[in-house]
């Protein structure tokens, strides 16, 4: 007889197939989507509370059971992505379960584009008194389930969305620009990740992993080298996130009729951040803001005020990233993984203390230097944790279809 522990924590992951996908992934998504329907309706609090444990259990089972890498070591990052997705499902479902009022979808901002593909309308024009019709809530739940920043929803108040530098764009123009960005990020990601692997192919550049700190070097050279590796790894992560975002932008605008304004820029030039507060507050992507508020900011700010809220956000972020490393099968020391994010919260608290005692906000070129120093210094240890589990050695594209290789072949045949 299979015990409860065997049901919750399988001994081995199973490769994704039609059977395992329907058995493990679909229950997580369907229960999550159902929660998205309920959060738009009045008098559903009891049902949402009852459904929450089901969503959490289904998300957990999908996260620890499915193997999206198909047993290929190079593709273990696919399981990391699965962990991020299921952790996000859990955070958002928690937020929806405790929502004090129904979520409302605003009128589509793209009046000239075909954003509403429902026979009636995906927009919710009801007042605070009216309840969202069930049919509308069912349709809107598809958007809500993938709309992490709440664009077009009333619950996204406070989320700072970067404005496009191109102004209002037609759909064809947006698609062309997005395709160009996608190709650029694909080439940049492939080139930079390969370059970083080649810095030490026998240690952190290999799938077995290794440290970025070379003990054979003098201290100054050792930490200069590790900081350079950290710098490149940060850009690799940035390119990977942007690549996925541009892919989804093409998909949802081209296939599902969404408008360009529903896909604004993801980042707001984070490399120009003049404080940690501005970097993490709005210049870095805000995809997990709703979830971090639900499980980190709100509970700890209630107990410890603003300081607790700041630390709660970064504890939640640390948990998300630690879960991602665990999903790769080799873990990573929790103190190191959580340490980077905890110290970001400490840095923001220090900035607040500085402003309180001096009356001057951290800003300007000194703020820029401070931000870069604080990030790079603590990121050394985070990237080292990545490197030790083989994450730095991950390949994002099949060898025969690497963008850099395809680009080289194209240029060679046309020049």
Nearest C-alpha neighbor of 87 from the set 95, 38, 301? 95
Q: Which pLDDT belongs to residue 110?
A: 53
Helix 45-65 crosses helix 26-38 at what angle (to 10 degrees)?
160
Q: Which pLDDT belongs to residue 33?
A: 97
| Domain ranges for the chain | 4-156, 171-407
Average confidence (pLDDT) per 10 residues, the chain, 415 residues = 47 86 96 97 96 97 90 80 95 95 77 38 50 92 92 84 81 94 96 92 86 94 96 95 95 88 93 96 92 92 92 95 84 83 97 94 96 97 89 84 89 81
How far apart (Å, rounded) are the C-alpha atoms in residues 93 and 132?
Answer: 19
How far apart (Å, rounded) are the C-alpha atoms in residues 393 and 91?
Answer: 29
State whether residue 66 is helix, strand or coil.
strand
How far apart (Å, rounded) are the C-alpha atoms in residues 231 and 379?
Answer: 9
3 state SS for 2-32 = CCHHHHHCCCCCEECCHHHHHHHHHHHHHHH
Q: Which pLDDT belongs to residue 129?
A: 52
| 182 HSE (CA, 13 A, CB side) | 14
Q: Which pLDDT belongs to residue 77?
A: 82
How far apart (Å, rounded) are the C-alpha atoms in residues 281 and 229?
Answer: 26
Can you spell out the DSSP letters for 251-293?
A: HHHHHH---GGGS--S---GGG-SSHHHIIIIIS--TTHHHHI
How far apart (Å, rounded) are the C-alpha atoms in residues 267 and 241?
Answer: 10
Helices (H) and strands (E) in the chain, counts: 14, 2
Reading the block at residue 171, the tokens are: 């759909």
Identify the residue whose tokens are 């991602």: 324
Nearest C-alpha neighbor of 145 from the set 257, 23, 40? 40
Rg for the chain, CA atoms, rounded = 22
pTM for this predicted structure:
0.88
Show the beta-strand stretches assigned E in 21-176.
66-67
Are 83 and 327 within 8 A, CB to CB? Answer: yes
């Amino acid at each position: 007889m299979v015990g409860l522990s065997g049901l919750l924590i399988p001994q081995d992951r199973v490769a994704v197939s039609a059977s395992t996908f329907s058995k493990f992934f679909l229950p997580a998504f369907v229960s999550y989507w159902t929660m998205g329907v309920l959060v738009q309706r009045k008098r559903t609090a009891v049902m949402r509370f009852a459904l929450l444990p089901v969503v959490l259990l289904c998300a957990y089972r999908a996260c620890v059971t499915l193997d999206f890498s198909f047993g290929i070591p190079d593709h273990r990052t696919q399981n990391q992505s699965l962990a991020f997705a299921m952790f996000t499902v859990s955070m958002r479902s928690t937020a929806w379960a405790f929502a004090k009022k129904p979520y409302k979808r605003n009128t589509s901002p793209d009046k000239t584009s075909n954003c509403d593909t429902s026979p009636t309308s995906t927009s919710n024009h009801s007042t605070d008194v009216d309840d969202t019709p069930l049919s509308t809530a069912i349709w809107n739940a598809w958007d809500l389930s993938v709309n992490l920043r709440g664009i077009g929803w009333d619950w996204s108040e406070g989320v700072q969305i970067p404005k496009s530098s191109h102004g209002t764009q037609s759909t064809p123009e947006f698609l062309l620009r997005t395709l160009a960005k996608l190709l650029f990020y694909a080439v940049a990601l492939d080139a930079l990740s390969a370059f970083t692997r080649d810095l030490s192919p026998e240690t952190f550049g290999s799938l077995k992993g290794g440290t970025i700190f070379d003990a054979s070097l003098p201290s100054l050279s050792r930490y200069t080298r590790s900081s350079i590796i950290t710098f490149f790894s940060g850009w690799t992560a940035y390119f990977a996130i942007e690549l996925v975002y541009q892919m989804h932008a093409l998909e949802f605008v081209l296939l599902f009729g969404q408008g360009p304004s529903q896909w604004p820029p993801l980042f707001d030039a984070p490399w120009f951040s003049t404080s940690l507060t501005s970097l993490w507050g709005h210049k870095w992507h805000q995809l997990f803001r709703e979830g971090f508020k639900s499980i980190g900011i709100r509970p700890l700010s209630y107990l410890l005020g603003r300081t607790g809220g700041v630390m709660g956000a970064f504890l939640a972020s640390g948990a998300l990233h630690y879960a991602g490393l665990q999903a790769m099968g080799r873990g990573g020391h929790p103190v190191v993984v959580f340490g980077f994010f905890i110290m970001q919260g400490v840095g923001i608290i220090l900035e607040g203390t500085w402003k309180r005692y001096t009356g001057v906000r951290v800003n300007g070129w000194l703020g820029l230097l401070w931000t870069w120093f604080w990030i790079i210094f603590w990121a050394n240890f985070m990237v080292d944790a990545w490197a030790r589990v083989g994450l730095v050695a991950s390949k994002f594209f099949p060898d025969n279809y690497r963008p850099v290789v395809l680009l080289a072949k194209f240029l060679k045949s046309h020049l």
